[in-house]
Amino acid sequence: MSFSALLPSVAALTEPANLAGLIALGSSITWPQLRHRKAILAVQVAGSLLFGLHYLLLGASTAAAMCVMGALQGIALVVLIERRHRVAVVGATLAIGAVVSALTWSGLPSLLSQGGQAMSAFGRLQLDTQKLRLWFLASTFFWCTHNLMVGSVFGLCSDTLALTSLLLGLWRNRSRAPATALRGAAA
């Protein structure tokens, strides 16, 4: 099977599931390159809701619910000031996600979407953007496998771009070794 056989036709791009996936893909390209935590989380919320719609229209209800849980986490983490409240909201959405996952169970895809959402949740709690990127890197592997199983071309494109962008963001924002930093400061 060729790669072009996996891509949707031009006519298929106008289907609602594919339109939502295509627009959501834009967030996957954007957020890993952002430097500020609130901006990262805001773009992720929009993308989560759009991917939720995409998965719902594809019939992957657990994945759709996990995307909504992710969006709720992102909103809470931007709005709530106290860390303990943020942790409580993330914990609650993880618990609700587990119940929803059980209610919408469709086998391994459900487990993978919940695993991806959990890794993202831990990432959203990170104050350090590099640690946030690492947790989302772990999340990408869960979602990539899920998207292969449910046939989400835009999910796979998002995973590929997110993986590339995450690795680039990790590299670009890495800290220099202390000796290198001192040499740079002395110059």
- Residue 177 has a pLDDT of 56
| Averaged pLDDT, groups of 10, the chain, 187 residues long | 64 81 87 82 90 95 93 87 91 94 95 95 90 94 95 92 88 71 52
- Residue 146 has a pLDDT of 96
Taking CA atoms, 77 is separated from 11, 22, 26, 49, 53, in Å, by 39, 26, 22, 16, 22
- Residue 174 has a pLDDT of 85
pTM, full prediction: 0.78
161 phi and psi angles, rounded to 5 deg: -70, -40
